[in-house]
Chains A and B, each alone.
Chain A
Amino acid sequence: MSPREKFLVPREKPTTYYGRPIVKPPVWKPEIPFYFFFGGLAGASAVLAATATFARRPALARRAWAGAFVGVTVSPLLLIKDLGKPTRFLNMLRVFKITSPMNVGAWILLANGGATSLAAGLNLLDEDRRGGAPEVLAAALGAPLATYTAALVTHSAIPAWSEARTEMPFVFAASATASAAGAAMLTVPADEAEPARRLGIAAAIAEEGITAIMHKRLGALAESYEQGTAGKFQKAARACTAAGALAFAASDPGLIPKLGKRRRSALSMAGGALLLAGSVCKRWSVFKAGFQSAEDPTQVARTQRERMNGDRLHS
């Protein structure tokens, strides 16, 4: 054949094997997106609680410590349930392995669990506690607890996850902060609410902004987040988070000074619940996007060919 022969008819090449996926979709059960949510709630709440303790806001601190404690207690239970047999969790702790985000995360979860439980206990026992090493440790381990779950999914062979590796931890951080603020706002008295209210609004805006950047950078891969079940969760997350932030803003005495105390606290609570729901939906959206991406063999092939052609950043 002559390589310079010209073809008159454009040809399409078959590029999949009966449409079967190239990479396997995750085998993770519904516990996992909830695990992401509770890990985020625990981590961001620990940071919020520690800061509130040091800033002498005992009412907010107590509630945030309670949120952190709930999160860090529920998280391992969800993880263990996903594994099937409880004792299997212990296998995770027979090594420390820096190449495995799953292993590193298990250790972060465990260490944060200890520090948060101690700090939460001390704060519940002593209302005037000024804060010390347990609070610092819980906060220092809380922040990575909230973002490592993003590393867990982006450190994978699934294109829509892997190619989002730069932005995903920031999305998780914002979503975690929104959930921590939301949880605190459920019960915190109006006159102690200010930092949580402000944080909830800021986190909601940040989450929306980073998500937009992430989708833009993903290009065609963003369809995994925008279509199907992932897309529905994404829309629900956006609606809940926006509504929650608006409710928080409306409950601000600086904005509507005439609003009655009861209405103000009703708005705070509704906003808190909405932010929590938004955070749950966000993790579900990311979770489902991974399945949808893995099930599409053309995404894998296209991403790799773009990388080969230098159209996509390698590291």
Chain B
Amino acid sequence: MGKTPPGRLTDRQDSAFSGWIKAAYRENRMLLHGIFSVALGLLLWEIIDRWFNDKYFFTGPDEVIREFIHLVREGEIWIHLRYSALEGLYGFTLAATAGVLFGTMLAFSRTLDEMSSPILIGLYATPRPVVAPLFIVWLGLGVASKVAVIFIASFFPVAINTTAGIKNVESEFRMLGRAFQVSPWAMFTKIIIPGSLPFLIAGLRLGYSRAIVTIMVAEMFGSEAGLGYMIVHATQVFDIPKMMVGISMLTLWGILGNEALKLVERRATPYKQTLGI
């Protein structure tokens, strides 16, 4: 996944006499080792499951898949998936929009930035589970309270990163714009937006990962449905396969969203060196 770090001495000189298998192996080394490692992990998981042989304590990959199919057939999972997706979508979209707008505002007004910075920093460092019960008391057990908590969780990284991104646009680019007397609109759309994009996307990625965690946390405290609700209720009856299905769904959302945002990141800022995670 990651880029090869500097300092690696490559050994390409023997490619003349090595067969194409060896060449193919070297080309896809990273991928092959990764697949091997994941397969090994799954095997180990199954072996541990066979060893414990107690479905109220540990469960193997096969049982999780069977439980997933069962839940899909029964249709129960759709209720939870829809509920959580709705919360996440509303919460994250609102937070991203408001965060970008607010962050942009702060970047252009020093007074406003300084006035809100202690509050922003404070709320940014506040652990999210702490605000969840408050919102449940205020807004009830439905979707609204979770949307609010998810909003709180992902708004701050987006806002802080947007402000930082705009402030970090190199001043030589701004000076260039000024020297060519571009209009403020062109300055904003052609210089400031592209320049601040890497930070903005980093903020969105962070906000997204926080949103996924918060779906779980917010539903834990009291909910009507949702993946987090499903996990907590499965725990109470020791239904481990069902629990694992819930966890896998949330993980899948995390991976898919992260990959999608990474794709956007690579498209928007091809010059940026990233770790690949």
B is bound to A: no
- The interface of chain B, by Cβ under 8 A from chain A, is none
